[in-house]
Amino acid sequence: MPTQRQAPFLIFDKVVLNPDPPPSDRVVLVDFYAEWCNPCKMISPLLEKLTSDATVKTGSGHSLDLVTVDTDTEFDLAAKYQVRALPTVIAFKDGKQVDQFVGALNEAAIRHFLGKL
């Protein structure tokens, strides 16, 4: 049985790194945030809005999923992906990191980022 400390890594691995069934037709955006981070509070609703809209796709036509990671409680996971500033958003496709951005982008900038994926 996994320990409490291992459980987030297992969930992250299953959802982000091992899409079922591979290859996935989805891109997973991972939003590394903290509750105290004001820029995170600005970008999180935009990410939720865009990833929940079925008409929003990546530039290559892939659908989107969103995973949020609280860096205050999941600091090992944040360290693994070298998150040094918040918010950090990392895009994964077929279990591989494909791109990222740091900072609270506006909706147009996020859409531009998605268009490059």
Catalytic status, residue 40: yes
Give the pLDDT of residue 6.
45
* Rounded average pLDDT over 29-49: 96
**What would the pLDDT profile of 75-116 be if each residue is shown by its tens digit?**
989 999 999 999 999 999 988 999 999 999 999 999 999 999
CATH architecture assigned to 7-16+27-115: 3-Layer(aba) Sandwich (3.40)
Average pLDDT of the chain to the nearest whole number: 86
Question: Rounded to two decimals, what is the model's pTM?
Answer: 0.85
Question: 54, 63 in Cβ contact below 8 A?
Answer: yes
* Catalytic residue of the set 29, 30, 40, 77: 40
* Catalytic residue of the set 16, 27, 28, 37: 37
* Rounded average pLDDT over 29-52: 95
Catalytic status, residue 99: no
* Rounded average pLDDT over 17-27: 68
Which residue type sits at 50? L
